[in-house]
Amino acid sequence: MTRLPALAAAFAPHDDLADKLLPYAFSGNDGSHDASHLIRVWKNAARIQAEEGGDDRQLAAAVLLHDCVSVEKNAPFRAEASRLAAEKAWEILDGLGWRTAEISPVAHAILTHSFSANMTPETLEAKILQDADRLDAIGMVGAARCFYIAGRMGSGLYDPLDPLADNRPLDDKAFAIDHFETKLFRLADGFQTAAGRRLALERQVRLRSVLAMLLDEI
């Protein structure tokens, strides 16, 4: 907890808000959804917001609290994670004196940001949060997170006899690189903002390069 004031500075110009919300921002010990993830998502969101507009204070709150309830990737109620986080975020912001009209768009952004929830964001802030979070799942960081999560889940890196699943069903619970095809390469087609789509295409190229280099080495 002693690092939280220093971490808050990374969310400037909303470092005062971050100082209040960071104590609630994490649950569990998932290194793919930690402080570094929040900072990257905020940088992505701020970059998109600078082009697209939107309420940056609401966006900062949504970024800071979007993972405030942690549910493991292999948990049976994984699809409920964003709903649980939105409900907790509402309670936190209400406790800090936010008005309902301010909390509602933050909760909506958190509710709809998750790929697992399969919900469409309706506000600009929600679209930016979804794009900013998904940018962190592709590119070099996305590849690193994929392999990290595979290790947490006890998966192998790849099928030694059929890495690209030419003659077997894809199984991203068993093999990390299967997740590239089952999810990561699909993300770039679902971005909500023009700025997000442009950034996603750049990172998609990097992600495909990671896979190509891995396949060359094996």
Q: Does residue 95 lie within any of the structural domains?
A: yes
With a cut of 70, say whether residue 10 has pLDDT above it.
yes
* Total domain count, the chain: 2
Q: Does residue 132 lie within any of the structural domains?
A: no
pLDDT > 70 in the chain, percent:
94
DSSP 10: G
CATH number for the domain spanning 10: value is: 1.10.3210.50
Mean pLDDT of all residues in 101-119: 89
With a cut of 60, say whether residue 155 has pLDDT above it.
yes
- What is the Cα–Cα distance from 119 to 128, expressed in whole angstroms? 14
Query: What average pLDDT does the chain have?
Result: 91
Nearest to 148 by CA among 34, 23, 3: 34
- Are residues 157 and 93 part of one domain? no
Q: Residue 175 — φ and ψ, nearest 5°? A: -135, 130
- What are the residue ranges of helices labelled H in the chain? 4-8, 15-21, 35-52, 56-65, 81-95, 100-112, 124-135, 139-153, 178-179, 185-187, 194-217
pLDDT digits over 85-108, tens only?
A: 999 999 999 999 999 999 999 999
- Are residues 107 and 47 part of one domain? yes
Q: Does residue 46 lie within any of the structural domains?
A: yes
Q: Does residue 131 lie within any of the structural domains?
A: no
CATH number for the domain spanning 209: value is: 1.20.58.1910
- Are residues 110 and 38 part of one domain? yes
User: Which pTM does this prediction carry?
Assistant: 0.90
* Distance spanning both ends of the chain, measured CA to CA: 42
Among the candidates 124, 153, 178, a domain finishes at 124
pLDDT digits over 46-76, tens only?
A: 999 999 999 999 999 999 999 988 776 655 5
Q: Domain limits at 194? A: 137-218
Residue 37, Cβ neighbours under 10 Å: how many?
21
Decide if 160 contacts 94 (C-beta within 8 A).
no
Question: Which amino acid appears at position 33 of this protein?
Answer: H
pLDDT > 90 in the chain, percent:
78
DSSP 53: -
Q: Does residue 130 lie within any of the structural domains?
A: no
Residue 187 is inside which H or E element, if any? Answer: helix 185-187
- Are residues 102 and 3 part of one domain? yes
DSSP 210: H
Among the candidates 124, 147, 167, a domain finishes at 124
- Are residues 202 and 115 part of one domain? no
